[in-house]
Amino acid sequence: MSHPLLNIFKPVTINHWNLRNRIVMAPLTRGFARDEDGTVTEEIAAYYEQRAKDGVGMIITEGITPMLSGKGTYGVPGLYTDAQTASWKKVTEAVHQHGGTIIAQLWHVGRLSHSDLIGRMPQAPSPIQAEGKVHKLRKPYEMPQSMTAQEIEDVVYHFQMAARRAVLAGFDGIELHAAHGYLIDQFINERTNKRDDKYGGDLLGRLRFLKEIIMAVKKEISPERIIIRFSEKKDDDASYVWNSKAETIQAYLQLFRETGITILHPSTESYAANWSGEFNFHQAVRMQWEHMIIGVGDLSLERAEEAINDGVIDLAAFGRPFIANPDLVQRWTTGLPLTTYDATRHLSVLK
């Protein structure tokens, strides 16, 4: 059955972006960039172009590292060299040619890297080793080095320069990946940040690194074009929960208001899951947040439509369905059946 009249398919204006619909292609780590230099290929350009051609409202790219030390696995693209910037230009031009909007997600993995990948010991707020193995490399995480004040400044600068390069490459905006236990989140999390300087201590101190990155990035791109992805869940620590959920959300949102951020991408495995009392994560954020929210978390089309109509979210992001269905939007609007996502079939190829 086709659904062309649903609100999710109607055009919407979000700050400076006139989107064809409220459907977002979620950031999806694929690992198909050239590993030796972090440039993206014609194949990657075609992959994004296909989704733009199909009519998706917004594309958020896979994580792009702002510096070599941010790389967490093989085939991660970068935005810190001229060659990388030029290679992304082909992607943004292809997407714009079809009337699409594309956002660059900036991603530094911090301690979730390995010296085999980056040629040095991984960086982190404190020397606390992650449990588990490095993605694709399959070696245990190493003991990271605690970042000096100068190294923190250097990473903040690299985020700023990556934002500058994103603008040069033609991106419509950027998303800061401050979720899932990666570097920014490692500073925010009291389990991974034991610092006693201005970047540690209470929650405000632990949020300082994110604040400095936002302030630096704002020098290159307007805050109306910046999305922040944040989460309670950590990819390397399934047991982690916030001590005080309402207060933690409040602290994040206070920081976003102070820095002029208006678009949030709260991340969770399951949009529908109860998170605090009878509310899911996005509803809990919405109760304290007056601006834009992107919903994500194994959403169905029907649940996304309901969340939009209820005013909980403004845009809905889909991940795996976009890997399995380059023409996802067309399939939904015309009522064609979807190809079911199958990791063994779909992850090894870029189509």
Tell me which residues are annotated as active site: 182
Q: Are strands 17-19 and 12-14 parallel, antiparallel or unpaired?
A: antiparallel
Q: How many CB atoms lie within 10 A of CB 198?
A: 12
Cα–Cα dist 160/220, whole Å: 7
Q: What does the buried/exposed string (b/e) look like for 34-51 if buried means 16 or more CB atoms within 10 Å of the residue's CB?
A: beeebbbbeebbbbbbbb
Which residues are registered as beta bridge partners of 237?
A: 234
Cα–Cα dist 249/178, whole Å: 13
Cα–Cα dist 287/179, whole Å: 20
Tokens of 25: 């292609």
Task: Output phi, psi for 232, to 5 deg.
Answer: -85, -40
Closest to 191 (Cα-Cα) out of 290, 104, 125: 125
Which residues are registered as beta bridge partners of 228?
A: 176, 264
